[in-house]
Amino acid sequence: MASFAANSSLIPANSLRNPAKSFVNSSSPFRCYCVCFNNNDKPTNLTPPTATAYPLSSSVLQNHKGFGLWVEKPGKKESFSQTSAVRQLTGSLLSAEGHRFAIVVARFNEIVTRPLLEGALDTFKRYSVKEEDIDVVWVPGSFEIGLVAEKLGKSRKYQAVVCIGAVVRGDTTHYDAVANSAASGVLSAGLNSGVPCIFGVLTCDDMDQALNRAGGKSGNKGAEAALTAIEMASLFEHHLKL
């Protein structure tokens, strides 16, 4: 197994007809390795990912579908190229027809959460989600969102759950407790249910900030949360099914 050299440069993998043969049977100063990705690293053309490098002849590569080509050349900066074998998985926003979504909305600060909900519903409609495929569940406040979102996720009725609320800073530390609990609650709901739970809870210093993000000059974060839900539902359906 080889480690990356700091003084290496890129030979584009797509410029070689047979990279393995070219370098294994060559007396050139280049050294060629295949890189098997660890976890979900996203390599760029500037920085190598967190990965393990193996000589091209290694049998380890037979069990890896995603790998790139790393070529060392003395005296140059390091770089990395993806080969055609690297799989890029992403969700689609083309259409969400046929998917079911739940929206959990906090009633507290309804002057903010109502337009956030409307933004989410409008987005779902524009992406072909039928009204009968959307369930809206109201809860007292943002603190209660996580519990309900997890329950909905575990029901297996929905491809994603959108969580909408608004926490506005006041004169006490209550804001910090609720904001942190809402964020961790939504995160836990997704992790425990295995269903994407989208964080659409605003945490703002004042009401003006909140209203600006509920259809004002800063856009509508409810609409953005719905878009995220559509993409994540597609990603799970097409690429991450258990």
End-to-end CA distance of the chain: 32
How many CB atoms within 10 Å of residue 126? 12
99, 174, 238, 239: the catalytic one is 174
The contacts of residue 38 (CB under 8 Å, 6+ apart) are: 49, 50, 51, 52
The answer to whether residue 64 is catalytic is no
CA distance 80 to 73: 12
Q: Which pair of structure tokens corresponds to residue 38?
A: 């660890």
Annotated catalytic residues are 174
